[in-house]
Amino acid sequence: LVLHESFGILGTSVQQKSGARSHKCGRISGFVLSAVSTNSGTVTVTHSSLTYENVTVQFEYIGNYTGHERCLSTCDPCHPGPCTCRPECECLPMKGYPSVGRCVRKGTPLPDGVERGMRRCKNKEGKKRN
């Protein structure tokens, strides 16, 4: 793979809910799109960074997630709090991988090939619930 173009925004500040929970929310501190050349053509890769206190976690996703700059990170659909503490964000389970989610902006289209899946969570007794 050869990286031939990169563009985006860095240091996006995310408005957080006020109150006791806001300090646990974190913020999206980077969002960059890259065009990657492959044998079958060019693929867009979206890079995002989530910063919480003094720790920054980086994520990479295949596809153009423009419009999701304030939310984009990995999340747990059964425990979406770190995603949904930002009021415009929701944690969507990935099709085929119900325990893995993407924190995305509500109402914003997902990239081609990315589909919403069904959430499968277990209650305290170990039974699955949706």
| Least confident window among 61-65, 70-74, 106-110, 115-119 | 115-119
Mean pLDDT of 106-118: 82
Q: What is the pLDDT of residues 45-76, one digit of tens each?
A: 999 999 988 999 999 999 999 999 999 999 99
What does the pLDDT read at residue 99? 84
| pLDDT greater than 80 at residue 101 | yes
Structure tokens at 76: 């747990």
> How far apart (Å, rounded) are the C-alpha atoms in residues 30 and 12?
6
What does the pLDDT read at residue 61? 92
Calculate what percentage of the chain has a pLDDT beyond 70: 76
What does the pLDDT read at residue 97? 82
DSSP code string of 49-98: EEEETTEEEEEEEES--TT-TTT-EEEBTTB-HHHHTSTTEEEEEETTEE
pTM for the full model? 0.72
How many helices (H) does the chain have, and how many strands (E)? 1, 9
Output the average pLDDT for the chain: 79
What does the pLDDT read at residue 60? 95
Calculate what percentage of the chain has a pLDDT beyond 90: 52
Give the CA angle between residues 97, 102, 108 to the nearest 5°.
Answer: 125
